[in-house]
């Protein structure tokens, strides 16, 4: 499901770019604007309808995927809590803390969907910039592997830092 949502984001991006190109082409030719009105207008309407359909489908697929992720996480949380040893978990952890952990699951639906869209748009934006740079100067392709390596290392470091910040935040909440 999430694959289809990620597939629809670049398609929507391409269609909006194509629609803007058609509109610019129509606006630049002042002599044939009135003669080509029906042709250009019908193209614009078709592109807008396809973009709308893709947007609705993307939202549906992301909604279903976030719902499935929330359900799987909730089941896993319940399973782990129910299988936790009584003397190490239930005797030590207050009931309010356990209930509080289960009550914040609706946040996952909102953040998962937004994070997926943000990730897809950022990825498309980065690829778009790389393609434009490549068209401007093809020799830059030799630098891409180094840039990708540094991006991967920065991502790995940021994931580690996020994990550490989450641990610190959890320890301050429970203390």
Return the pLDDT at 106: 67
Distance, in Å, from the CA atom of 62 to the CA atom of 59, rounded to the nearest integer, reads 5
Q: Residues with Cβ < 8 Å from 51, sequence gap 6 or more?
A: 12, 15, 16, 19
* Farthest CA pair distance, the chain: 84
Q: Same domain for 87 and 64?
A: yes
Distance, in Å, from the CA atom of 48 to the CA atom of 15, rounded to the nearest integer, reads 8
Other Cβ atoms closer than 10 A to 48: 13
Q: Same domain for 152 and 83?
A: no
Q: Same domain for 118 and 37?
A: yes
In order along its 175 residues, the chain shows pLDDT tens digits of 667 766 777 777 777 777 777 777 777 777 777 777 778 788 888 888 888 888 788 778 877 877 787 788 778 878 887 887 877 777 787 877 777 777 766 666 667 667 767 777 777 777 777 777 777 777 777 887 888 888 888 888 888 888 877 777 776 666 5
Whole-model pTM: value is 0.55
Residues of the domain holding 48? 2-142
Report helix angle 37-82 to 106-136, nearest 10.
130
Structure tokens at 80: 């782990």
Return the pLDDT at 129: 74
Number of folded domains in the chain?
A: 2
Q: Same domain for 37 and 81?
A: yes
């Amino acid at each position: 499901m999430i694959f289809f949502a990620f597939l629809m984001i670049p398609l929507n991006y391409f269609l909006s770019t194509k629609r803007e190109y058609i509109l610019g082409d129509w606006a630049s030719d002042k002599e044939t604007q009135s003669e080509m009105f029906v042709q250009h207008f019908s193209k614009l309407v078709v592109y807008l309808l396809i973009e709308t359909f893709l947007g609705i489908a993307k939202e549906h697929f992301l909604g279903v995927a976030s719902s499935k992720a929330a359900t799987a996480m909730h089941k896993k949380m319940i399973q782990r809590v129910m299988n936790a040893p009584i003397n190490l978990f239930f005797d030590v952890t207050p009931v309010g803390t356990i209930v509080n952990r289960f009550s914040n699951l609706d946040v996952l639906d909102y953040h998962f969907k937004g994070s997926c869209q943000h990730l897809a748009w950022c990825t498309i934006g980065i690829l778009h910039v790389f393609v434009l740079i490549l068209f401007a100067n093809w020799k830059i392709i030799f630098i891409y592997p180094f840039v990708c390596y540094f991006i991967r290392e920065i991502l790995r470091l940021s994931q580690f830092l996020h994990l550490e910040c989450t641990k610190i935040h959890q320890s301050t909440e429970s203390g």
